[in-house]
Protein backbone atom coordinates (compact mmCIF):
# COMPACT_ATOMS: atom_id res chain seq x y z
CA UNK A 1 0.00 0.00 0.00
CA UNK A 2 1.39 3.31 -0.97
CA UNK A 3 -0.24 6.68 -0.76
CA UNK A 4 0.99 10.17 -1.38
CA UNK A 5 -0.26 13.27 0.36
CA UNK A 6 -1.29 16.07 -1.96
CA UNK A 7 -0.95 19.73 -1.00
CA UNK A 8 -4.20 19.68 0.98
CA UNK A 9 -2.90 16.78 3.09
CA UNK A 10 -5.37 14.35 1.59
CA UNK A 11 -3.94 11.00 0.72
CA UNK A 12 -3.97 10.45 -2.98
CA UNK A 13 -4.13 6.87 -3.99
CA UNK A 14 -1.47 5.88 -6.47
CA UNK A 15 -2.53 2.85 -8.39
CA UNK A 16 0.38 2.68 -10.79
CA UNK A 17 3.22 2.75 -8.33
CA UNK A 18 2.34 -0.21 -6.11
CA UNK A 19 0.38 -2.21 -8.62
CA UNK A 20 -2.82 -1.99 -6.58
CA UNK A 21 -5.05 -2.07 -9.59
CA UNK A 22 -8.83 -2.19 -9.14
CA UNK A 23 -8.47 -5.88 -9.96
CA UNK A 24 -6.15 -6.44 -7.00
CA UNK A 25 -8.43 -4.42 -4.73
CA UNK A 26 -11.37 -6.52 -5.87
CA UNK A 27 -9.48 -9.70 -5.02
CA UNK A 28 -8.45 -8.29 -1.66
CA UNK A 29 -12.07 -7.62 -0.70
CA UNK A 30 -13.09 -11.07 -1.91
CA UNK A 31 -10.29 -12.69 0.11
CA UNK A 32 -11.27 -10.80 3.25
CA UNK A 33 -14.85 -12.02 2.86
CA UNK A 34 -13.74 -15.57 2.06
CA UNK A 35 -11.67 -15.68 5.26
CA UNK A 36 -14.60 -14.37 7.29
CA UNK A 37 -16.86 -17.01 5.75
CA UNK A 38 -14.19 -19.69 6.35
CA UNK A 39 -14.31 -20.30 2.66
CA UNK A 40 -10.57 -20.81 2.42
CA UNK A 41 -9.20 -24.34 2.73
CA UNK A 42 -5.95 -25.94 3.76
CA UNK A 43 -4.41 -28.78 1.81
CA UNK A 44 -1.56 -30.89 3.15
CA UNK A 45 1.53 -32.14 1.35
CA UNK A 46 3.61 -34.92 2.93
CA UNK A 47 7.32 -34.54 3.70
CA UNK A 48 8.78 -37.99 3.24
CA UNK A 49 12.16 -39.43 4.19
CA UNK A 50 14.17 -41.47 1.69
CA UNK A 51 13.27 -44.58 3.69
CA UNK A 52 9.60 -43.81 3.01
CA UNK A 53 8.85 -42.52 6.50
CA UNK A 54 6.49 -39.56 6.68
CA UNK A 55 8.28 -36.87 8.68
CA UNK A 56 5.59 -34.22 8.47
CA UNK A 57 2.97 -32.40 6.44
CA UNK A 58 3.03 -28.90 5.01
CA UNK A 59 -0.21 -26.92 5.14
CA UNK A 60 -0.82 -25.01 1.91
CA UNK A 61 -3.69 -22.59 1.61
CA UNK A 62 -6.26 -23.02 -1.19
CA UNK A 63 -8.82 -20.45 -2.28
CA UNK A 64 -11.50 -21.23 -4.80
CA UNK A 65 -12.85 -17.92 -6.08
CA UNK A 66 -16.52 -18.04 -7.10
CA UNK A 67 -15.92 -16.49 -10.53
CA UNK A 68 -12.21 -16.88 -11.17
CA UNK A 69 -11.75 -20.42 -9.98
CA UNK A 70 -8.67 -21.31 -7.94
CA UNK A 71 -6.41 -18.33 -7.31
CA UNK A 72 -2.73 -19.34 -6.87
CA UNK A 73 -1.46 -18.71 -3.31
CA UNK A 74 1.55 -16.77 -4.57
CA UNK A 75 -0.88 -14.29 -6.07
CA UNK A 76 -3.22 -13.67 -3.15
CA UNK A 77 -0.49 -13.91 -0.53
CA UNK A 78 1.32 -11.02 -2.21
CA UNK A 79 -1.93 -9.07 -2.06
CA UNK A 80 -2.50 -9.93 1.61
CA UNK A 81 1.11 -8.97 2.40
CA UNK A 82 0.85 -5.53 0.87
CA UNK A 83 -2.53 -4.74 2.39
CA UNK A 84 -2.44 -5.62 6.08
CA UNK A 85 -4.66 -8.68 5.65
CA UNK A 86 -1.72 -11.02 6.25
CA UNK A 87 -2.22 -11.35 10.04
CA UNK A 88 -5.84 -12.34 9.42
CA UNK A 89 -4.80 -14.97 6.89
CA UNK A 90 -2.06 -16.35 9.13
CA UNK A 91 -4.39 -16.50 12.12
CA UNK A 92 -6.87 -18.42 10.00
CA UNK A 93 -4.25 -20.84 8.70
CA UNK A 94 -2.74 -21.46 12.15
CA UNK A 95 -6.16 -21.98 13.70
CA UNK A 96 -7.26 -24.39 10.96
CA UNK A 97 -3.99 -26.31 10.98
CA UNK A 98 -3.90 -26.68 14.77
CA UNK A 99 -7.52 -27.85 14.89
CA UNK A 100 -6.57 -30.43 12.25
CA UNK A 101 -3.45 -31.55 14.13
CA UNK A 102 -5.58 -32.00 17.27
CA UNK A 103 -8.15 -34.02 15.31
CA UNK A 104 -5.45 -36.23 13.78
CA UNK A 105 -3.85 -36.78 17.18
CA UNK A 106 -7.21 -37.74 18.66
CA UNK A 107 -7.53 -40.26 15.82
CA UNK A 108 -4.08 -41.71 16.58
CA UNK A 109 -2.25 -39.96 13.75
CA UNK A 110 0.79 -38.19 15.16
CA UNK A 111 2.36 -36.17 12.44
CA UNK A 112 3.82 -32.66 12.75
CA UNK A 113 2.36 -29.97 10.52
CA UNK A 114 4.29 -27.08 9.02
CA UNK A 115 2.62 -23.71 8.47
CA UNK A 116 4.08 -21.04 6.20
CA UNK A 117 4.38 -17.65 7.83
CA UNK A 118 5.25 -14.40 6.15
CA UNK A 119 7.91 -11.89 7.18
CA UNK A 120 5.04 -9.63 8.23
CA UNK A 121 3.95 -12.17 10.83
CA UNK A 122 7.41 -12.52 12.27
CA UNK A 123 7.58 -8.74 12.68
CA UNK A 124 4.22 -8.51 14.43
CA UNK A 125 4.80 -7.75 18.13
CA UNK A 126 3.59 -10.59 20.33
CA UNK A 127 3.57 -13.15 17.55
CA UNK A 128 5.55 -15.80 19.48
CA UNK A 129 3.29 -15.53 22.52
CA UNK A 130 0.17 -15.67 20.37
CA UNK A 131 1.36 -18.88 18.72
CA UNK A 132 2.14 -20.44 22.11
CA UNK A 133 -1.33 -19.49 23.41
CA UNK A 134 -2.96 -21.02 20.35
CA UNK A 135 -1.01 -24.28 20.82
CA UNK A 136 -2.10 -24.46 24.45
CA UNK A 137 -5.73 -23.82 23.55
CA UNK A 138 -5.70 -26.71 21.07
CA UNK A 139 -3.68 -28.88 23.49
CA UNK A 140 -1.16 -29.49 20.73
CA UNK A 141 2.45 -30.04 21.86
CA UNK A 142 4.74 -27.38 20.36
CA UNK A 143 6.85 -30.07 18.69
CA UNK A 144 3.86 -30.89 16.47
CA UNK A 145 4.00 -27.44 14.87
CA UNK A 146 6.66 -26.23 12.54
CA UNK A 147 6.80 -22.74 11.04
CA UNK A 148 8.26 -22.23 7.59
CA UNK A 149 9.92 -18.87 7.18
CA UNK A 150 11.99 -17.43 4.37
CA UNK A 151 15.24 -15.54 4.62
CA UNK A 152 13.24 -12.39 3.76
CA UNK A 153 12.38 -12.15 7.47
CA UNK A 154 15.91 -10.88 7.96
CA UNK A 155 15.63 -8.04 5.48
CA UNK A 156 13.57 -5.55 7.42
CA UNK A 157 14.55 -5.69 11.06
CA UNK A 158 16.93 -8.59 11.69
CA UNK A 159 17.02 -8.03 15.45
CA UNK A 160 13.24 -8.05 15.86
CA UNK A 161 13.02 -11.14 13.65
CA UNK A 162 15.73 -12.91 15.65
CA UNK A 163 13.93 -12.07 18.91
CA UNK A 164 10.61 -13.45 17.66
CA UNK A 165 12.23 -16.62 16.36
CA UNK A 166 14.09 -17.07 19.65
CA UNK A 167 10.76 -16.66 21.45
CA UNK A 168 9.08 -19.28 19.28
CA UNK A 169 12.00 -21.61 19.69
CA UNK A 170 11.86 -21.08 23.45
CA UNK A 171 8.25 -22.26 23.37
CA UNK A 172 9.40 -25.43 21.61
CA UNK A 173 8.18 -24.57 18.11
CA UNK A 174 10.42 -25.84 15.33
CA UNK A 175 11.44 -23.55 12.48
CA UNK A 176 12.22 -24.35 8.89
CA UNK A 177 13.99 -22.13 6.38
CA UNK A 178 11.93 -22.26 3.18
CA UNK A 179 12.95 -21.59 -0.44
CA UNK A 180 16.63 -21.73 0.47
CA UNK A 181 18.90 -20.46 -2.28
CA UNK A 182 16.57 -17.79 -3.64
CA UNK A 183 17.59 -15.03 -1.24
CA UNK A 184 20.82 -13.73 0.18
CA UNK A 185 21.32 -15.77 3.31
CA UNK A 186 24.89 -16.25 4.33
CA UNK A 187 26.32 -18.81 6.67
CA UNK A 188 26.43 -16.13 9.32
CA UNK A 189 22.68 -15.54 9.17
CA UNK A 190 21.93 -19.21 9.19
CA UNK A 191 23.97 -19.81 12.30
CA UNK A 192 22.12 -17.04 14.12
CA UNK A 193 18.66 -18.38 13.38
CA UNK A 194 17.11 -21.10 15.54
CA UNK A 195 16.02 -23.19 12.55
CA UNK A 196 16.17 -26.97 12.57
CA UNK A 197 15.37 -27.57 8.92
CA UNK A 198 16.36 -26.14 5.58
CA UNK A 199 14.28 -26.54 2.44
CA UNK A 200 16.07 -26.38 -0.90
CA UNK A 201 14.06 -24.35 -3.35
CA UNK A 202 12.36 -26.19 -6.17
CA UNK A 203 14.23 -24.14 -8.79
CA UNK A 204 17.46 -25.98 -7.87
CA UNK A 205 15.84 -29.35 -7.39
CA UNK A 206 14.02 -29.28 -10.72
CA UNK A 207 17.19 -29.34 -12.84
CA UNK A 208 19.32 -31.36 -10.49
CA UNK A 209 19.46 -34.37 -12.78
CA UNK A 210 20.32 -32.41 -15.92
CA UNK A 211 22.35 -29.41 -14.77
CA UNK A 212 25.78 -29.98 -13.19
CA UNK A 213 25.86 -26.56 -11.57
CA UNK A 214 22.50 -27.03 -9.91
CA UNK A 215 23.63 -30.47 -8.76
CA UNK A 216 26.72 -28.89 -7.21
CA UNK A 217 24.67 -26.21 -5.47
CA UNK A 218 22.36 -28.84 -4.02
CA UNK A 219 25.29 -30.99 -2.89
CA UNK A 220 26.98 -28.04 -1.15
CA UNK A 221 23.73 -26.91 0.45
CA UNK A 222 23.08 -30.36 1.90
CA UNK A 223 26.63 -30.62 3.27
CA UNK A 224 26.50 -27.12 4.70
CA UNK A 225 23.14 -27.74 6.35
CA UNK A 226 24.31 -31.01 7.84
CA UNK A 227 27.44 -29.39 9.22
CA UNK A 228 25.11 -26.95 11.02
CA UNK A 229 23.00 -29.82 12.32
CA UNK A 230 19.97 -29.08 10.13
CA UNK A 231 17.64 -31.51 8.44
CA UNK A 232 17.40 -30.96 4.69
CA UNK A 233 14.18 -31.23 2.71
CA UNK A 234 14.12 -30.97 -1.08
CA UNK A 235 11.09 -29.24 -2.60
CA UNK A 236 9.34 -30.15 -5.81
CA UNK A 237 10.66 -33.63 -6.59
CA UNK A 238 8.81 -34.82 -9.68
CA UNK A 239 10.75 -37.81 -11.03
CA UNK A 240 12.63 -40.92 -9.93
CA UNK A 241 16.00 -39.77 -11.18
CA UNK A 242 15.90 -36.60 -9.07
CA UNK A 243 14.75 -38.67 -6.10
CA UNK A 244 17.70 -41.06 -6.50
CA UNK A 245 20.22 -38.24 -6.83
CA UNK A 246 18.91 -36.59 -3.67
CA UNK A 247 19.06 -39.85 -1.76
CA UNK A 248 22.67 -40.34 -2.92
CA UNK A 249 23.50 -36.80 -1.76
CA UNK A 250 22.22 -37.72 1.73
CA UNK A 251 19.22 -35.43 1.58
CA UNK A 252 16.96 -36.21 4.56
CA UNK A 253 13.47 -35.80 3.15
CA UNK A 254 11.59 -34.61 0.11
CA UNK A 255 8.28 -33.20 -1.01
CA UNK A 256 6.91 -33.36 -4.48
CA UNK A 257 4.38 -34.66 -6.90
CA UNK A 258 6.44 -37.85 -7.28
CA UNK A 259 5.10 -38.90 -3.88
CA UNK A 260 2.04 -36.71 -3.34
CA UNK A 261 0.70 -33.28 -4.16
CA UNK A 262 -1.08 -31.29 -1.46
CA UNK A 263 -4.40 -32.95 -0.61
CA UNK A 264 -7.55 -31.92 1.26
CA UNK A 265 -7.61 -32.96 4.93
CA UNK A 266 -9.83 -36.02 4.45
CA UNK A 267 -7.74 -37.34 1.61
CA UNK A 268 -4.63 -36.74 3.71
CA UNK A 269 -6.13 -38.81 6.51
CA UNK A 270 -6.71 -41.70 4.09
CA UNK A 271 -3.21 -41.30 2.67
CA UNK A 272 -1.65 -41.39 6.15
CA UNK A 273 -3.74 -44.41 7.15
CA UNK A 274 -2.71 -46.28 4.02
CA UNK A 275 0.89 -45.72 5.07
CA UNK A 276 0.09 -46.69 8.65
CA UNK A 277 1.54 -43.43 9.88
CA UNK A 278 1.38 -43.15 13.63
CA UNK A 279 0.05 -46.68 13.99
CA UNK A 280 3.27 -48.04 15.47
CA UNK A 281 4.39 -44.94 17.29
CA UNK A 282 3.70 -44.40 20.96
CA UNK A 283 1.55 -41.43 21.83
CA UNK A 284 3.85 -38.56 22.81
CA UNK A 285 3.01 -37.29 26.27
CA UNK A 286 1.17 -34.00 26.49
CA UNK A 287 2.98 -31.28 28.41
CA UNK A 288 1.81 -31.15 32.04
CA UNK A 289 -1.14 -28.87 32.68
CA UNK A 290 -0.10 -25.56 34.29
P1 LIG B 1 6.21 -23.01 -0.61
O2 LIG B 1 5.98 -22.88 0.85
O3 LIG B 1 7.63 -23.08 -1.07
O4 LIG B 1 5.39 -24.28 -1.06
C5 LIG B 1 5.79 -25.16 -2.07
C6 LIG B 1 4.98 -24.96 -3.31
O7 LIG B 1 5.41 -25.92 -4.31
C8 LIG B 1 3.48 -25.21 -3.17
O9 LIG B 1 2.82 -24.33 -4.07
C10 LIG B 1 3.34 -26.65 -3.64
O11 LIG B 1 2.02 -26.97 -4.05
C12 LIG B 1 4.31 -26.66 -4.77
N13 LIG B 1 4.79 -28.01 -5.10
C14 LIG B 1 4.92 -29.08 -4.26
N15 LIG B 1 5.44 -30.13 -4.90
C16 LIG B 1 5.64 -29.75 -6.18
C17 LIG B 1 6.19 -30.42 -7.35
O18 LIG B 1 6.59 -31.58 -7.34
N19 LIG B 1 6.26 -29.68 -8.49
C20 LIG B 1 5.84 -28.38 -8.56
N21 LIG B 1 5.95 -27.75 -9.72
N22 LIG B 1 5.34 -27.73 -7.47
C23 LIG B 1 5.25 -28.41 -6.30
P24 LIG B 1 1.55 -23.50 -3.66
O25 LIG B 1 0.65 -24.33 -2.80
O26 LIG B 1 1.03 -22.90 -4.92
O27 LIG B 1 2.14 -22.36 -2.73
C28 LIG B 1 3.01 -21.40 -3.24
C29 LIG B 1 3.61 -20.57 -2.15
O30 LIG B 1 2.59 -19.80 -1.49
C31 LIG B 1 4.24 -21.39 -1.03
O32 LIG B 1 5.54 -21.78 -1.41
C33 LIG B 1 4.24 -20.40 0.11
O34 LIG B 1 5.30 -19.50 0.01
C35 LIG B 1 2.96 -19.66 -0.16
N36 LIG B 1 1.91 -20.20 0.74
C37 LIG B 1 1.10 -21.26 0.56
N38 LIG B 1 0.26 -21.41 1.61
C39 LIG B 1 0.56 -20.42 2.48
C40 LIG B 1 0.05 -20.02 3.78
O41 LIG B 1 -0.83 -20.65 4.38
N42 LIG B 1 0.61 -18.90 4.34
C43 LIG B 1 1.63 -18.21 3.74
N44 LIG B 1 2.13 -17.13 4.37
N45 LIG B 1 2.13 -18.56 2.55
C46 LIG B 1 1.61 -19.65 1.93
MG1 LIG C 1 6.69 -23.75 2.50
MG1 LIG D 1 9.39 -23.47 -0.51
MG1 LIG E 1 8.25 -21.62 -2.85
Average pLDDT score, the chain = 88
- Find the mean pLDDT for residues 17-43: 86
Q: Distance from the CA of 30 to the center of ligand 2, in angstroms? A: 24
pLDDT, residue 23, reads: 85
pLDDT, residue 19, reads: 59
Whole-number percent of the chain with pLDDT over 70? 87
pLDDT, residue 25, reads: 83
pLDDT, residue 57, reads: 98
Note the pLDDT tens digit of each residue in 122-171.
Answer: 999 999 999 999 999 999 999 999 999 998 887 878 888 889 999 999 99
Question: For residue 265, how far is the Cα from the chain centroid?
Answer: 16
CB neighbours of residue 75 within 10 Å? 12
Q: Are strands 11-13 and 3-5 parallel, antiparallel or unpaired?
A: antiparallel
Q: For 7-11, 31-35, 92-96, 146-150, which range has the lowest pLDDT when averaged over its residues?
A: 7-11
**Over 90: is that where the pLDDT of 6 sits?**
no
Supply the residue whose CA is at minimum distance from atom 46 of ligand 1: 116
Q: Distance from the CA of 232 to the center of ligand 4, in angstroms? A: 15
Q: For 16-25, 160-169, 267-276, which range has the lowest pLDDT when averaged over its residues?
A: 16-25
Q: Distance from the CA of 130 to the center of ligand 3, in angstroms? A: 24
**Over 50: is that where the pLDDT of 17 sits?**
no
pLDDT, residue 186, reads: 62
Residues with CB under 6 A from ligand 1: 45, 60-61, 72-74, 77, 93, 116-118, 148, 178-179, 202, 235-238, 255-257, 262
Band the pLDDT of 181: cuts 50, 70, 90.
confident
Supply the residue whose CA is at minimum distance from atom 13 of ligand 1: 236
**Over 70: is that where the pLDDT of 218 sits?**
yes
Supply the residue whose CA is at minimum distance from atom 16 of ligand 1: 236
pLDDT, residue 278, reads: 63
**Over 70: is that where the pLDDT of 118 sits?**
yes
Note the pLDDT tens digit of each residue in 93-111.
Answer: 999 999 999 999 999 999 9
Q: Distance from the CA of 129 to the center of ligand 4, in angstroms? A: 27
**Over 80: is that where the pLDDT of 46 sits?**
yes
**Over 90: is that where the pLDDT of 16 sits?**
no
**Over 50: is that where the pLDDT of 2 sits?**
no
**Over 50: is that where the pLDDT of 204 sits?**
yes
Amino acid sequence: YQAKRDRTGVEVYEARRDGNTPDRLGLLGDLRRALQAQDVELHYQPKVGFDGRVVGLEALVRWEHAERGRVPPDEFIAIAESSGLMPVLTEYVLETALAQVAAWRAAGLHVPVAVNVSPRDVHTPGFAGAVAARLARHKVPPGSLQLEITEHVLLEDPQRAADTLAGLSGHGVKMSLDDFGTGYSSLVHLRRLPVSELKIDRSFVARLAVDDEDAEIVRCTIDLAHSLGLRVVAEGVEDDETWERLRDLNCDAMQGWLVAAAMPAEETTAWLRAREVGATRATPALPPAP
